[in-house]
Structure 1
Amino acid sequence: MNSNQLEEWGSHCSLSTCHALDFLPFKCQHCTKLYCSDHFKPSIRPSETSHQCSEYDESLIDARVPTCPLCGDPISIPTGTDPNIPMDQHLTTSCRLIDQSGLLKSQNQSSTSQSSSNKICSRSRCQTKMIVPILCTDCQLNYCPSHRLGADHACSGNPQPSHKPYHRASLIALKSVMASIPPLPKPVTSKPMTPNQTSSSTTSSTPSSKPNPSLSTVDRYRVSKRIKAEEESRRKALEWRAQKGLLSEDEKLIYANLKASSQKTESIRIKSNGKECLIC
C-alpha cells in the first residue's frame, strides 16, 4: 500500500502549520474547511488546539443568559440587543421581589425565602436541605429523615415516653386474661338437719329437693388445669418481657407472684412424684 492510496482515504488538515493526514477529518461549520482532531475548534486567534476561523463570530456563538440579581430568574435577551434594556424591563414590571411602588418586599413575604426555609431541617444545629420534608404531626414542623421522630428532635407538641404505651397495653391484656378465667367453685358445706326437717322430709310424698350445685371431681380438675395453663402462659409472656427490660412496677409484682406460684407447684409435684396418682 503506497502513500497515494492513503491520501484517497483521508484528508490533510487545512491549517498551514499542521497539514497532517487524518482518516476522519472534522469539517468546520463556519468556514467549511477540513481539519484534524487537534485543530478543528474555531477561534479568533490561532492556538495549538484550534484554528483561526475567518467566519467565526464569538458574539453569536457564546450566547449567555443573564439572571436577575434579586430573584434569580433568567432574562431573555434577543440577539443584537443591549442586555441592559431587558434587565430594566424585568426589574420594573415582572420581578417578584419588587412591589408596585418599586421597593423591595420583606423577606417574610417572599415565597422564595419561605420555600428555602421550609426545606431546611427545623432541628437546631441541623442544616440538612431536604428534597421531600417530613412534617411532624405534633409540633407541625418539617424535619429530615434522621430527626423525623419526636424523640429525635425533642418534640414539644406531644411528648411520648419510651415504654409507657407498652406498659399500658400489657396491663390491659393481663386484665382481660384474668377476667376470662372463671372463679373457683366454693365448697358446699352440709349443715346438720333438725328433727323438724327430718320429719318433714320423710312425710313429703313428692321429692322437692334440688340437685347439688357443686361440681364433680373431674370438672374441678379440668377447671384447675385450665387455670394453671393460663397462669403458665402469662408467666412465660412476662418472662419474655422481663428479659427485654420492658416490665413496669405492676408487671414486676405480677411476674414475681406467678414465678413463686410456679416454683411452689413444681416442688409439690416433685415431692408427690413417688405417690400413686388418684386422678388421671
Structure 2
Amino acid sequence: MGRGTEAFPDLGAHCEHEDCNQLDFLPFTCDGCQKEFCLEHRTYKSHGCPGSEHRSRTVVVCEICSASVEREGGGEDDVAVLERHVRSGACDPARKRKPRCPVPRCREALTFSNTATCRACHVSVCLRHRFPSDHACAPRVPVTLLARNGIECGDRKARVRSPPSVKAY
C-alpha cells in the first residue's frame, strides 16, 4: 500500500486490511505477515494473519510456585493448564519467590505484617529499614517542587511580594 500523503510521502502508512485502507501516522507492522496495520487491525485475530500460529505463545503463571506454564493448545483454558502443571510434579511451593527487603545485606522476607512503604521514595522495605535514613532513600520529588525551595502552594506567608507600584503624576 501507499505511504503517507502527497505533501508528506514518508509520513505514516495506509492500513493493509482489505476493508480499511485508513491512513495511520503510527502504523503497526505485523511480525507474522510483515504488513502494516492501523490500531484497530493490529492484532493477529483482527486481520486474520496466516502466520499467527507460530507467534501466539501464551503462558499462565502458577500461583503456588510462580512458574510460567505454556499453553499447549490455543484454546486451552487457565484451569486446565494449571491442573496439568500440578499433576506433572513440577509444581513446588518452596520455589516460589518471596519479595525481600531491597536494602543491601538484609535478607528479610516482606510479608503483610512487616512491610512498610516509604512516603518519600515509595519503596517497600522491612520494618527495620522503614525510616529514610535506614534505606538510602532517594526521594522521588518532581523538579518543580524542588524549585519552590519548600514553599507550599497555599502558604501565603512564604510568598515574596513585590513592593506596591508608585503612580507617576
Fold shared, TM-score > 0.5 on shorter chain: no
Identify, as 1 or 2, the structure richer in strand: 2
More helix by share: 1
Q: Which has the higher contact order (CA 8 A, sep 6+)?
A: 2
Question: Could you say which TM-score interval applies, normalised by the shorter chain?
Answer: 0.3 to 0.5
Q: TM-score, normalised by structure 1?
A: 0.26
